[in-house]
Amino acid sequence: MNIINNESIDEKLYYEKQSAGLDIYVIPKKGYSLYYGIMAVNYGSNDNEFLIPGSDKSLKVPDGIAHFLEHKMFDKKEGNLLQDYGALGSTPNAYTNATTTAYLFTTTADIKKNVELLFRNVHEPYFTDESIDREKEIIGQEIKMYQDNPSWKVYFNLLDCMYIKHPVKKEIAGSYYSISEISKELLYECYDTFYRPSNLVFLLVGDVEPEEIIGFADENIKRYEKGKKEKPLRIYPHEPAKLNKKHAEEKMEISRPLFAMGFKDIDIGFTGDLLLQKEIETEILLEGMFGKSSPIFKELYDKGLINNSFGSDFMSEKDYGYSIVSGESKEPETVSKIIEDYIKRDGINILSKKRFETIKKKLIGHFLASFNSNEFIGSNFISYKMKGINLFDYMDTVERIEYNDIENRFLNHITEDVKAMSIIYPN
């Protein structure tokens, strides 16, 4: 068992790689009554083409199948596991995003029973033709709900502007047509390919003895090993650096236009410490340029062009990344023009060195305060782990970033040739 002790945040991380490849992590939180357990699969909506294990043949599966599989993993021959979680007084949940599927619980008691249930949740697939047909109706309604959501549409229309081939542009739940092609056989094929110990991470955060939990997790996974030690081999299309298109517009039943401006990241191809530094640099840059204390926000707000919905975000993985500036505006094209003028005229000087230091301190303060939440620790640890990043390295990385790093990031990322705009207008 390995122990990582981070004295700057006064936290310890216990880790062991189980014999079949499962990564087991425990973060003890003495005196905390809430336990947070999560098992994450390195498998998301992007992974729709892969090599069949033990073969040189590739398989392309319908869009949305990772999300569909997540829904079906709660069904067992004896019934639905949500009832078992409820009987223990715990709160289960699950999610699928572009790169990860995760199953989790929070509880205040019966920790070992919940851990055992979580392992069953992830390792005992049970699919029938009848239950799959029922699920298609449920997910079909979910897809319709997203299609009728203007915030969702403006976001995915922007991704379609930025990306030509990369599957990140496709909706996580798929489409009516794609889910209609999902079968029991395809679900088992995806399960057997990706739900294997070497492609999983287990984490528990709470007031526990790490050695005991690691041993218990090891006992549980041994029931499901079945020799699946090799990692899945995924196939992704080559994504050009250029945009798919610069602009997208749509009309929906809304009272005020929505916009999302995106900057496609072309500085990609790495994980771990380099990716963490890039994420934090971009977070500082976006806060400096578009945060509520920035000159851009002040001018736009004073002119009545934006409201408090205005904000920015950065999303990154090894093979793609993008920054988004979004909000409501009666004149979204004017907002875009003002931002463009600021960038051309002031460049990185939009962010002063004094505000740079203030933002760094703010990030560190928020990070330290967040360690009072086991849910924050658990969800962010997993999110970073899937990118080869250790959450415990966050604060040290923030502290070593200098102003010239932000300047270089600005010059490489906030450029007109990778900027796209998506707008939803009222009907």
State whether residue 133 is helix, strand or coil.
helix
Of 270, 276, 271, 272, nearest to 395 by C-alpha is: 276
Is there a single domain that holds both residue 169 and residue 190? Answer: yes
Place of tokens 């392992």: 119
**CA-angle at 414, arms to 413 and 420, nearest 5°:** 105
Is there a single domain that holds both residue 312 and residue 420? Answer: yes
Q: What is each CA distance from 263 to 42, 247, 415, 416, in whole angstroms?
A: 26, 12, 7, 8
> Does 42 map to a domain?
yes
Lowest mean per-residue pLDDT among 41-55, 61-75, 215-229, 230-244: 215-229
How many other CB atoms are found less than 10 A from the CB of residue 64? Answer: 26
pLDDT, one tens digit per residue, over 365-387 is 999 999 999 999 999 999 999 99
**CA-angle at 358, arms to 353 and 360, nearest 5°:** 95
Is there a single domain that holds both residue 372 and residue 351? Answer: yes
Domain of 354 in residue numbering reads as: 247-426
Total number of domains in the chain = 2
Is there a single domain that holds both residue 148 and residue 173? Answer: yes
> Does 241 map to a domain?
no
pLDDT, one tens digit per residue, over 115-139 is 999 999 999 999 999 999 999 999 9
Is there a single domain that holds both residue 217 and residue 275? Answer: no
Tell me how far apart the alpha carbons of residues 155 and 423 are, in angstroms, rounded to a whole number: 9
Q: For position 130, which CATH number holds?
A: 3.30.830.10
Q: What single string gives the DSSP state of each residue in 243-305?
A: -S-SEEEEEES-SS-EEEEEEE----S--HHHHHHHHHHHHHHHHHHHSTTSHHHHHHHHTTS
Q: CB–CB of 231/17 below 8 Å?
A: no
Q: What is residue 231's predicted lDDT score, i.e. its pLDDT?
A: 84
Two structure tokens written together for 424:
């939803």
The stretches of 327-422 forming alpha helices (DSSP H) are 332-346, 353-370, 374-385, 394-400, 403-413
- For the segment 81-96, the average pLDDT, to the nearest whole number, is 97
Is there a single domain that holds both residue 212 and residue 258? Answer: no
Strands 247-252 and 419-426: parallel
Quick one: DSSP state of residue 199? G
Two structure tokens written together for 215:
């041993």
Place of tokens 């999610």: 95
Lowest mean per-residue pLDDT among 215-224, 356-365, 402-411, 412-421: 215-224
pLDDT, one tens digit per residue, over 25-80 is 999 999 999 999 999 999 999 999 999 888 889 999 999 999 999 999 999 999 99
Radius of gyration of the chain (CA): 23
| The pLDDT of residue 315 is above 90 | yes
Q: What is residue 228's predicted lDDT score, i.e. its pLDDT?
A: 65
Tell me how far apart the alpha carbons of residues 99 and 336 are, in angstroms, rounded to a whole number: 31
| The pLDDT of residue 227 is above 80 | no
Of 413, 255, 250, 393, nearest to 321 by C-alpha is: 413
Is there a single domain that holds both residue 193 and residue 271? Answer: no
Q: What is residue 28's predicted lDDT score, i.e. its pLDDT?
A: 97
Is there a single domain that holds both residue 203 and residue 59? Answer: yes
Is there a single domain that holds both residue 214 and residue 343? Answer: no
State whether residue 21 is helix, strand or coil.
coil
High-pLDDT (> 90) share of the chain, %: 94
The last residue of one of the domains, among 234, 258, 281, is: 234
Tell me how far apart the alpha carbons of residues 419 and 241 are, in angstroms, rounded to a whole number: 12
Is there a single domain that holds both residue 76 and residue 156? Answer: yes
Of 390, 419, 37, nearest to 204 by C-alpha is: 37
High-pLDDT (> 70) share of the chain, %: 99
State whether residue 374 is helix, strand or coil.
helix
pLDDT, one tens digit per residue, over 133-168 is 999 999 999 999 999 999 999 999 999 999 999 999
Is there a single domain that holds both residue 81 and residue 131? Answer: yes
Average of per-residue pLDDT values in the chain: 96
The last residue of one of the domains, among 206, 234, 262, is: 234
How many other CB atoms are found less than 10 A from the CB of residue 346? Answer: 13
> Does 93 map to a domain?
yes
Question: Looking at the annotation, which residues are catalytic?
Answer: 70
> Does 230 map to a domain?
yes
> Does 68 map to a domain?
yes
The last residue of one of the domains, among 210, 234, 258, is: 234
> Does 22 map to a domain?
yes
Is there a single domain that holds both residue 320 and residue 220? Answer: no
- For the segment 9-14, the average pLDDT, to the nearest whole number, is 94
> Does 239 map to a domain?
no
> Does 139 map to a domain?
yes
Two structure tokens written together for 235:
């196939």
* End-to-end CA, the chain: 60
Q: What is residue 226's predicted lDDT score, i.e. its pLDDT?
A: 67
